[in-house]
Amino acid sequence: MGMNEPFDALQRRVYLDNAATSWPKSSAAIEAAQKFIHECGATSGRGAYRSAMLADRWLADARHHLAQLLNAPDAQSIALCSSGTHALNAALWGLLRPGDHVITSAAEHNSLLRPLKQLETHHAVRLSIVPCDADGFSDPRAADELVCDDTRWIAIGHASNVTGRVQALDGWRDLALRASSKLLVDASQTLGYIPIDVQTSGIDVLAAAGHKGLRGLAGTGLLMVARELQSQLRPLMFGGTGLASEQLQTGQSWPQSVEVGNLNLPGVVSLAVAAAECYRSQHTTVLNAAGVAQPSWRAPLQQLVAGLKQFPEIRMIGWEALSGDDDLERAGRIPVVSLQVAGWDVHDLASVLDSSFGIEVRAGWHCAALVHDALGTADSGGTLRLSPSASTTSGDIDWTLAAFREILA
């Protein structure tokens, strides 16, 4: 069977799993990465020949554009990673110390919760987990009573990857200030969808995937660490950095403490371009060649929510209080919708949507071990998650709603 067969065979493909990884990617990012592979292909931080220096420039460009997008103090506060999981692990293992008390929430992804649990189990870090409500929202005020003298970190996701609910970063920042602790934010689900300003949000450490809302290639992520913490970060891995090669024992300094080994340069190139593109779209009205504003994720989300609300059999999880007419961004939502359908197992439903309608969605727990108790979905196999993007067309949403109509008829 040829690699292309499954896709060629599909009459229609509606990709609604952008919360896992976005598709399609930014065309400009793909083109730049392809050009880099075809015409350069060198690695960064190693050689002094021309193409190696071009690779160095791309890496510097990626740091610059990511720092600009996040309003980070400078480009050197950015390290390039291979995923959101890599960025979170580099930060948590690198910065937490035995005896530290960390506050996190039940709404988090396992890429934040599992390293924290490991650190608690094996390295004497103390963990407090704030519950979340049936929207996947964790109230920072509920964490006030957990603060103690040893509280060093507030580690929070910017939005739930199950319900799409955006968290109150201001409240978490205020809590971190009151607790004299550092604020670590997992922005894997929000970067590219909603503007993030690490300085005004008081974020000391930000970890994110580069391949979701930002639309960089798979195998990309980033870590922003505030200047005063960079020298405290202990490396997760040791090896070649291109620096001090004659020394066997060397403290790898930031950002090589995270970027050890050869980097995924095509991915780095894609991030440089995708971050520049995202910054432009967040700060200007970008018009396409026909003079029309570029599509955003808001219209397909609004259409999807309004349409799904029409089905009495569908329970939209964490969206009960909203109507299709609400301004979903103001209501603190990103394009992630979870649901259950009366009489249907979520995995069976995902399978029928795929096989009969070419609609690609994800069913299950979505790598979030704790949130389902609050959502009431723990005993029923989790949720069916639909995550559109700016590339989702109105026709794609019509098709999806028609598929539900037919399945439920």
Ligand X SMILES: Cc1ncc(COP(=O)(O)O)c(C=O)c1O
Regarding 186 and contact with ligand X (CB under 6 A), the answer is: yes
> How far is CA 262 from each of CA 41, 43, 210, 243, rounded to the nearest angstrom?
12, 7, 18, 13
- 249-252-256 Cα angle (round to 5): 145
Interatomic CA distance for residues 187 and 169, integer angstroms: 11
- In single-letter form, the type of residue at position 68 comes to Q
Q: How far is the CB of 360 from ligand X (least distance, A)?
A: 15
Binder among 18, 22, 77, 83 for ligand X (CB under 6 A): 83
Regarding 192 and contact with ligand X (CB under 6 A), the answer is: no
Regarding 383 and contact with ligand X (CB under 6 A), the answer is: no
Closer to ligand X by Cβ: residue 65 or 109: 109
Binder among 115, 192, 221, 307 for ligand X (CB under 6 A): 221
> How far is CA 148 from each of CA 18, 129, 157, 179, 382, rounded to the nearest angstrom?
39, 14, 21, 8, 34
According to DSSP H, which parts of 22-141 are helical? 27-39, 50-70, 84-95, 110-123
| Residues of span 242-301 touching ligand X by CB under 6 A | none
Regarding 109 and contact with ligand X (CB under 6 A), the answer is: yes
Handedness of CA 139, 144, 146, 150 (dihedral sign): positive
State the DSSP H helix or E strand holding residue 174, giving kind and residue range, or none if neither: helix 169-178
Regarding 190 and contact with ligand X (CB under 6 A), the answer is: no
Regarding 89 and contact with ligand X (CB under 6 A), the answer is: no
> How far is CA 184 from each of CA 98, 128, 171, 245, 285, rounded to the nearest angstrom?
17, 15, 13, 32, 31
Binder among 22, 77, 85, 270 for ligand X (CB under 6 A): 85
| Residues of span 320-379 touching ligand X by CB under 6 A | 367
Regarding 163 and contact with ligand X (CB under 6 A), the answer is: no
Regarding 396 and contact with ligand X (CB under 6 A), the answer is: no
Strands (E) located in 118-177: 126-130, 151-157
Pair 386, 403: CB distance under 8 Å: no
Regarding 188 and contact with ligand X (CB under 6 A), the answer is: yes
Instruction: Give the binding range for ligand X (CB under 6 A) out of 125-133, 186-194, 370-378, 393-401.
Output: 186-194
Closer to ligand X by Cβ: residue 40 or 215: 215
Q: How far is the CB of 19 from ligand X (least distance, A)?
A: 6
Binder among 18, 22, 44, 111 for ligand X (CB under 6 A): 111
x-or-dash pattern for ligand X, window 10-29, by CB under 6 A? ----------x---------
* Site residues (vs ligand X, CB under 6 A): 20, 83-85, 109, 111, 157, 161, 186, 188-189, 209, 221, 367
